[in-house]
Chain A
Amino acid sequence: DAKTTQPPSMDCAEGRAANLPCNHSTISGNEYVYWYRQIHSQGPQYIIHGLKNNETNEMASLIITEDRKSSTLILPHATLRDTAVYYCIVDYEIGTSYGKLTFGQGTILTVHP
């Protein structure tokens, strides 16, 4: 059973911010939100994760709503190389549990010139 809901596809202009939404209304208090992406049949790549505070790293920002029922991944200046399938995953902290990731169908982000 999917724990997350994402739009199947989104478009973004190169150089603009890409905002990818994810709904996870049944998230429990000790579950994290992870984002991975997969570029054309390559191995998935970790982007960012968070519990309840907003997070930022060199790749992206993660905004989690106060009730934690949804989140948004922000790529601040999208490039053509950011075209990929983006997966939002809800799971326990990997270091303390199964560590398996349940991938849904993700959002296909297409960045246009």
Chain B
Amino acid sequence: DADVTQTPRNRITKTGKRIMLECSQTKGHDRMYWYRQDPGLGLRLIYYSFDVKDINKGEISDGYSVSRQAQAKFSLSLESAIPNQTALYFCATSDSRADTQYFGPGTRLTVL
């Protein structure tokens, strides 16, 4: 969905490096999410935010941090990347009054 954008789309980095993945949305939604997907598996929730001042850990938050800079922007950081963080990362948004999540195109991250 073009209303949810992620940058970069692909990134290769080395172990120990700090990495930031960015997500922006033009849908005006108040809720934003970060998921990761490993090959052959479903998505797992890393962090979610219901508004600018609300940040919550998901099921696999260790090794990650987030920042909700504005309603439209939600960034995911890997403080010290490790190889098992190699995955496909998705950002999603939803409106608190609605029932669907809209996903970005994903960021493919490889940690060597």
Contact = CB atoms under 8 A, between A and B. Distances in A.
B99 A95 contact: yes
Q: Give the dominant DSSP class at A's interface.
A: loop
Q: Which of A46, A87, A98, A100 has the most CB atoms of chain B within a 10 A radius of its CB?
A: A100
Chain A interface residue bracket vs B: 20 to 34
Interface string B83-108: 00000101010111111111111101
B33 interface: yes
Interface string A65-96: 00000000000000000000001000001110
B7 to A, nearest CB: 14
Interface of B: 1, 4, 31, 33, 35, 40-45, 48, 50, 58, 88, 90, 92, 94-106, 108
**What 10 pairs across the A-B complex have the smallest Cβ distances?**
A43-B103, A103-B42, A46-B100, A103-B43, A100-B45, A94-B99, A44-B103, A104-B42, A43-B90, A95-B97
